[in-house]
Amino acid sequence: MPEEPAAIPDSDLAHADIGIVCALPMELAPFLSRCERVRNYSGGTFTFRGGRYDKIRVVVAEAGIGFERARRATQALREAHTPKWILACGFCGALRDGIAVGDVVMANSIIDSHGQEITVDLKLSSDPARKLHVGRILTADHMVREVAEKRSLGERFSAIAVDMETLAVAQICRDTQTRFMAVRTVSDDLSADLPPEVISVTGSTGNVRIGATLGALWKRPGSLKDMWRLREQAQIAADRLADFLDGVLVQLAAAGN
Tell me the pTM. 0.86
C-alpha neighbours within 13 Å on the C-beta side of residue 95? 26
pLDDT at 223 (0 to 100):
55
CA 146-150-151 angle, to 5 degrees, is: 120
CA 151 to chain centre: 21
pLDDT at 175 (0 to 100):
97
**Residues facing residue 179 across a β-bridge:** 85
pLDDT at 116 (0 to 100):
95
pLDDT at 82 (0 to 100):
94
- d(CA 30, CA 185) in angstroms, rounded, equals 13
pLDDT at 171 (0 to 100):
98
pLDDT tens across the length of the chain (257 residues): 444 444 444 445 578 999 999 999 999 999 999 999 999 988 778 999 999 998 899 999 999 989 999 999 999 999 999 999 999 999 999 999 999 999 999 999 999 999 999 999 998 999 999 999 999 999 999 989 899 999 999 999 999 999 999 999 999 999 999 999 999 999 999 998 887 756 544 544 445 433 333 344 435 445 556 666 778 888 999 999 999 999 899 888 777 55
CATH match of 11-246 with 3.40.50.1580: yes
- Kindly list the domain boundaries of the chain, sorted by start residue: 11-246
* CB under 8 A, 24+ apart: contacts of 52-58: 53/249, 54/249, 54/250, 56/17, 56/18, 56/249, 56/250, 56/253, 57/12, 57/13, 57/15, 57/16, 57/17, 57/18, 58/16, 58/17, 58/18, 58/19, 58/20, 58/249
